Amino acid sequence: MIANCLNRLRVSIVFGTLFLCLSCVSQAPASWILRDIQSLDANIMNTVQWIKIEKSNLKFLNKSIKKKLNFFRKTNFLVFQKIEIEINSIEKNIKNIEASLTKQKKLARKVKKRPKLKIFDTYDNTNTKRLPLLGGKKEIGLKKSKSKTVLKILESLEKNSSLIIVNQKSYNSSLNNLIKLFKKEKYDLVFIRQEVEEYKYTIKELNIQRKQQNIHLEKLILKLNDALLVSKKSSYTLNLLDISQNIENYNSIMDKFENFVNNLVDIGGKECRGLVYLKKIGHKKDYQKKYEMGIADYKTTLSEIPKLISSI
């Protein structure tokens, strides 16, 4: 039983640090930095994933605002027009990004089929080890080359990546405008994926504190081991066991909440029947209420552990 208690305490320490890795998420690239064909592939895959997520969001968005859009068409045509403009812009941005991405994929295949062109060797990047495609030719360190084919490929890569980024920024701007439009009408337009990322960031910040406590927890385990060697039934040993059990329970509470947050996209999506939804300002969904209660308990629990350890 005592051995199990020690093992569970160690597992709790490890699990607490694991969340830092689980909460990492892919972001849309801020710029295309290319060093070699592998980095080109990585940027392409990032954009493929971005398109997949945002097309899914667009599907849920159109579904969630359909009734309200019809309502505005009849009662406030100006608002209806403004919403339509942003929706059309969003759809256009995605199509533009897909078109530019298709061209980048073709160029990537071309580069792979003709390695003798040495596309990435035409850049003098020995100092920076980077290949930013969005600057001027002086900025990207392009060497003078006699190969028109190489220059054409490089210029196309630069042009396509620039168009992708410009359209991603325009897409995000239209989304923000859409959210503001609904907010003026006293509605919250909620994108669950983005909302949960904010929740995860909060947990990640708190988890840094939790990780810092691991040093003290390891010391507690050492003290408990030493105490057990002397006597298993002394008041000191029993007190350490009691504290260890309490800490184990606290860690279990925090682990369960972190697991809840990690699965919150699915939980929220199931409750709202979609990953984008519209709600009146001030109204909270059940998953939001549970998160708010859980994060408050998490913070309280996190503050209790140092108090227990200091009481030894």
User: pLDDT tens-digit profile of 158-191?
Assistant: 899 999 999 999 999 999 999 999 999 999 999 9
3-state helix, strand, coil in the chain (%, to 5): 75, 5, 20
- Note whether 173 and 254 are same-domain residues: no
Rg (CA), the chain: 27
Instruction: Answer whether residue 150 shows pLDDT above 80.
Output: yes
Q: What is the pLDDT of residue 71?
A: 96
Does 84 reside within a domain? yes
**Pair 214, 87 in one domain:** no
Among 126, 159, 185, the domain-final residue is 185
Mark whether 82 and 109 lie in a shared domain: yes
Domain boundary among 125, 159, 185: 185
User: Do the domain assignments include residue 30?
Assistant: no
* Per-residue pLDDT band at 251 (split at 50, 70, 90): confident
| Average of per-residue pLDDT across 238-256 | 81
User: Does residue 100 sit in the same domain as residue 131?
Assistant: yes
| Domain that includes residue 284, residue range | 2-25+194-310
What's the confidence (pLDDT) of residue 29? 47
Q: Would the pLDDT of 229 be above 80? A: no
Taking the model in full, what pTM does it have? 0.77
Q: What is the pLDDT of residue 31?
A: 58
User: Does 22 have pLDDT greater than 50?
Assistant: no
12 and 115 both lie in a single domain: no
State the pLDDT at residue 11: 47
Residue 234 pLDDT grade (very low, low, confident, very high; cuts 50, 70, 90)? low
281, 186 in Cβ contact below 8 A? yes
Mean pLDDT of the chain: 82
Kindly state whether residues 263 and 300 are assigned to the same domain: yes
Residue 262 sits in the same domain as residue 158: no
Of 49-63, 126-140, 167-181, 272-286, the poorest mean pLDDT is in 126-140
- Does any domain span residue 31? no
Residue range 226-237: mean pLDDT, rounded: 61
- Locus of tokens 């996209």: 265
Identify the bridge partners of residue 277 per DSSP, sorted by sequence position.
190
32 within some domain: no
Please indicate, yes or no, whether residues 47 and 169 belong to a single structural domain of this protein.
Answer: yes
105 and 159 together in one domain: yes
8 A C-beta contact, residue 127 and residue 119 = no
Between 54-68, 201-215, 227-241, 288-302, the lowest mean confidence (pLDDT) is in: 227-241
Amino acid letter at 57?
N
Model confidence pLDDT, tens digit, residues 90-114: 999 999 999 999 999 999 999 999 8
Same domain (yes/no): 43, 181: yes
First vs last C-alpha separation in the chain: 21
Total of domains in the chain: 2
Are residues 46 and 172 both part of a single domain? yes
Q: Which of 161, 185, 209 is the last residue of a domain?
A: 185
DSSP class of residue 143 equals: P
Q: pLDDT > 70: what percent of the chain?
A: 73
pLDDT at 198 exceeding the cut of 80: yes
Domain match, 16 and 47 both: no
Nearest 5°: phi and psi at 93? Answer: -60, -45
